[in-house]
Structure 1
Amino acid sequence: MDNKSRSGDAGCSIGAGSGEGTMRRVEELRERTVWKSDPHTQVKHLVYRHYLQCWMAKILQTFREATIVDGFAGPGVYTDGPPGSSIVVAKTFLEHTAHRRFGRLNLICLEERPDRVEELQRQFAKLPHSPQLNISIQPPGTFAEQQSRLSALAHRGRVETPVLWLIDPFDLKSAPFSLISQCLTGPRDEVLFTLFTNELHRFCQREGFDKTMSAYFGGDHWQVATTERRAGARKEAFAAAYQQGLKDQGLFTGSFGIKISNQSARYHLILATHNEAGLKCWAPVTWKLDSYSGQGASADTADTLSLFDEALVVDRLDVALRAHAGTEQRWETLSSQAARLNHMDKHLRQVLDNLAAQGLAIRVDPVKARTAWPEGCTVRFYAPEDVADEAS
């Protein structure tokens, strides 16, 4: 939670524990300008920071100008010291090892409450100035009412300007699917969206809640997830359903669960992008924070080494590559396929090594190379029956 309440709708409180003193957490989030952080926000901000490191390096060294919009910015700080999302973005830019080679970054921040806007201004005033970083804190307003105006500011008259939208709303009704779609109208628009999978799991079958759900998903395809009975499986199914809605619009998408200790995900971060290069940034983030499956992390596992680092879960990629039996495939095609399955090139090479050991994958071009699977190579695939010993 980034400086904001988490509730499914106006009548669905989360019960997120206690704040300072006797004030309940949900009341603290609603009534105070600034409050104490929680561990799940820190995991989310780790995802932001790692993704921004890659996004900035790629985008700001390619384009003269790009924009990040924080649509639900909050006050920019917590009472115990950690920065809010907008400050995380600014500090990631200022502290990036390549930032002197960057083009201009426009950071647009929107917050609904005037008291939090004032606090956000105070927090930005503490940061060092950079002529390459243009910070624009908007007057208080709601994202739904301001989205079209923010889009015009973000693109600055050029639809091809890259824009990354950070959409971390207060509740389900603040960011329906139609609004997310509007954030993706530009050819280089991307969205990082907080999907309330815990609330979806808890309230999906509440009477009269189906209209809210359908608006949130942009259709009734969310209903397939309700057949899952276990909480974890249902939450993952909701994340998959939301991603399917994005894929149906021709977008590339990734997902990462933010967990509470070893429990199922509290909420999911969803990436939506027009360009497969976004997945090339996303996969390393998810595998860095969850080195076993790349699917989700909790506050006690994020950024830690796993005993399973040498045995990564790559079953889906193995199955996908075996399906190429009888064909030759270019590296670019295989790398693209791996990215869509949320795997990195190192995972692709690991699976190819395993297939090659079984005689099921052979590099046919180039004949000589310094490594087994260099970029640009061509790989021929075989079926197990093709390599079976007929005499056995």
Structure 2
Amino acid sequence: MRRVDELREQTVWKSDPHTQVKHLVYRHYLQCWMGKILQTFPEATIVDAFAGPGVYTDGPPGSPIVVAKTFLEHTAYRRFNKLNLVCLEERTDRVEELRRQFAKLSPSPQLNISVQAPGVFAEQPRLSTLAHRGRAETPVLWLIDPFDLKSAPFSLIRRCLAGPRDEVLFTLFTNELHRFCQRENFDKTMTPYFGGTHWQSAVPERRGRREAFATAYQQGLKDQELFTGGFGIKVSNQSARYHLVLATHSEAGLKCWAPVTWKLDHYSGQGASAETAGALSLFDEASVVDRLDVALRAYAGTAQRWETLSSQAARLNHMDKHLRQVLDKLAAQGLAFRVDPVRARTAWPEGCTVRFYAPEDVADEAS
């Protein structure tokens, strides 16, 4: 049976390697998100908008169970406030199976599980009401992993981000976009999916078209004044099968996201397959930090606080360890100098101020 037929016809289906990588991303991000949010706010919500049956025929848990188990097994669980887990699934048979899977878990007074009656993501306004529980400021993380392009248009994604503490983790089907973007009339699907025609900028790209579509989608989110990150889920060492895209109102979301991507891809933080996720490589000591290097050099002639530099690093999907790595390199070239504090136990402590110089400044001094 073809994979597409299996997903359409069966209640439960077999897992695949790239799904396990996706769930690994979920778990790592949830570890950080829960650790921060559930110890700060009295309650928060996670919405799994395409929940599925909660299990695969070969045993691995589905995404709703991954969320619940991450909560129950978290090292900070005893300090957590309330988490609402809202699950939506279209098919009755899968809703029933999902409820059976949840019934196998140990109950917790801090975890409120709500499996909705069969429904579709187009009911987003109702889901949002359930998620926010009458308070727009309630933190809500939306997991949106649809089966096709038409089920999750950009207009609905944007609605999921209406609250000030809403976040979305979205599966972007970059392989399908790459394959079908030039088919006749496919623009009628593409434009609603992207929320505009900016997807067309990716079409001329040949070898890097999948990544170009991910960049275009993220640009649409940035145009909404959102912070965003992406990660390619690959099959073996081939191009990305799809991308996971994070959208958040807070830079704190990026501070959780970057460590996840670099944990799974030590070299570039951009993508992984089941074979490479978390694996060490020959390049581990030379992580790609070119964009961060360019960004810091642009500060030549100014002094910048650590907070500004850390923010810049996060926006480029880098962690503070990468920031320190680049600062070490620039300092060795005479292009970065810590001016405050005068004394410190480490070269680049949090809260420090760094002055940057241009190469010509150093050349003039040497002549």
TM-score band w.r.t. shorter chain? over 0.9
1:173 to 150, 153, 170: 150
SS in 2 for 1:75: coil
> Corresponding residue for 1:347?
322
Deviation of residue 389 (structure 1)?
5.8
Q: Work out which of the residue numbers 290, 293, 308 in structure 1 matches 2:268.
A: 293
Aligned residues: 367
- Partner Cα distance (1:27, 1:219) in 2: 31
Closer, same or farther in 2 for the Cα pair 1:148/1:390, shift >3 Å? closer
2:213 aligned to which of 238, 248, 258? 238
* 1:371-382 alignment runs, 5 A limit: 371-382=346-357
* Corresponding residue for residue 188 of structure 1: 165
| 2:174 paired residue number | 197
User: Secondary structure at the residue paired with 1:262?
Assistant: coil
Selected match of 2:129 from 116, 129, 152: 152
> By how many angstroms is 1:309 displaced?
1.4
1:24 is displaced (CA, Å) by 1.9
Work out the CA distance in 2 between the residues paired with 1:135 and 1:307: 44
Misfit runs of 4+, over 4 Å: 389-392
Distance 1:67 1:180 in 2: 16
**Separation in structure 2 between the aligned mates of residue 141 and residue 91 of structure 1, nearest angstrom:** 24
Find the residue that maps to 1:316 and give its secondary structure. helix
Give deviations 1:248-298, integer Å, cap 9, x for gaps.
Answer: 000000000000111100000000000000000000000000000000000
> Would you say 1:208 and 2:195 are equivalent positions?
no
2:127 alignment partner, SS class: helix
- Cα distance per residue 1:199-225 (max 9 Å; x no partner): 000111110110110000000000000
Q: CA deviation at 1:170?
A: 1.3
Report what 2:222 is aligned to.
Answer: 247
TM-score (normalizing by structure 2): 0.99
> For residues 266 and 118 of structure 1, what CA distance do their matches in structure 2 show?
30
Instruction: State which of 283, 287, 290 in structure 2 corresponds to 1:308.
Output: 283
- The residue identity in structure 2 corresponding to 1:37 is S
Between the aligned partners of 1:254 and 1:151, the Cα distance in structure 2 is 23
Cα distance in 2, alignment partners of residues 220 and 25 from structure 1: 31
- Work out the CA distance in 2 between the residues paired with 1:171 and 1:351: 41
Name 1:9's counterpart in structure 2.
Answer: none
1:324 aligns with 2:299: yes
What is the distance in 1 between the residues matched to 2:302 and 2:276?
40
The letter for the 1-side match of 2:265 is D
Is residue 36 from structure 1 mapped to residue 4 from structure 2 by the alignment? no
1:274 and 2:252 are equivalent in the alignment: no
Q: 1:229 aligns with which of 178, 202, 206?
A: 206
CA distance in 1, matches of 2:68, 2:292: 36
Instruction: Show structure 1 runs of 5+ residues with no match.
Output: 1-22
- Give 3-state SS (helix, strand or coil) of 2:285's partner: coil
Residue 116 (structure 1) aligned with residue 94 (structure 2): yes
Distance 2:107 2:252 in 1: 30
Query: Residues 136, 389 of structure 1: CA spacing in aligned structure 2 closer, same or farther, 3 A cutoff?
Result: same
Structure 2 match to 1:13: none
Query: What letter corresponds to residue 289 of structure 2 in structure 1?
Result: V
What secondary structure is seen at the aligned counterpart in 2 of 1:257?
strand
Q: Which residue of 2 aligns with 1:258?
A: 233
Whether 2:29 is the aligned partner of 1:51: answer yes
After superposition, the Cα gap between the structure-2 partners of 1:239 and 1:170, relative to the gap in structure 1 and judged at 3 Å, is same
1:66 aligns with 2:44: yes
Pairing partner for 2:2 from 24, 40, 52? 24
Give the match for residue 220 of structure 1: 197
Between the aligned residues of both structures, percent identity stands at 87
Change (3 A) 1:391 1:187: closer
Structure 1 position 138, deviation (Å):
0.2
**Which amino acid is the alignment partner of residue 101 of structure 1?**
R
Instruction: State how far apart, in whole Å, the 2-side matches of 1:164 and 1:48 are.
Output: 11
Letter in 2 for 1:134: N
Unaligned runs of 5+ in 2: none
SS of aligned partner of 1:267: strand
Q: Which amino acid aligns with 2:69?
A: K
In the TM superposition, residue 306 of structure 1 has moved relative to its aligned partner by: 2.1
